[in-house]
Amino acid sequence: MKIGIVGYGKMGHMVEQRAAARGHEVLWRANSYEELVAAVVNGQEVDVAIEFSSPAAVVENLRFCLSHGMKVVCGTTGWYFKLQDVLAIQAQHPASALFYAPNFSLGVRVVSLLTQQLARYEKLLPQYDVAIEETHHTAKLDAPSGTAILLAEPFLGEEGRYKEWALPPNAPEGALPITAHRIGSVPGTHTVRLDSAADTIELTHVAKGREGFADGALAAAEFVTSRCGVFTMEDLIPER
Question: What is the model's pTM?
Answer: 0.84
Give residues with Cβ within 8 angstroms of 98, minimum separation 6. 62, 66, 72, 74, 86, 87, 90, 229, 230, 231
pLDDT tens per residue, range 192-225: 999 999 999 999 999 999 999 999 999 999 999 9
* CATH tag, 2-104+211-236: 3.40.50.720
Transcribe 196-208 into DSSP letters: -SS-EEEEEEE--
Q: Which residues are catalytic?
A: 136, 140
pLDDT tens per residue, range 97-146: 999 999 999 999 999 999 999 998 887 788 999 999 999 999 888 899 99
- Delimit the domains of the chain by residue range: 2-104+211-236, 106-206
Backbone φ/ψ region at 184: left (φ over 0), alpha (ψ -120 to 50), beta: left
Select the CATH number that applies to the domain covering 106-206 from these four: 3.50.50.60, 2.160.10.10, 3.40.50.300, 3.30.360.10. Answer: 3.30.360.10
Q: What is the DSSP letter of 171?
A: P
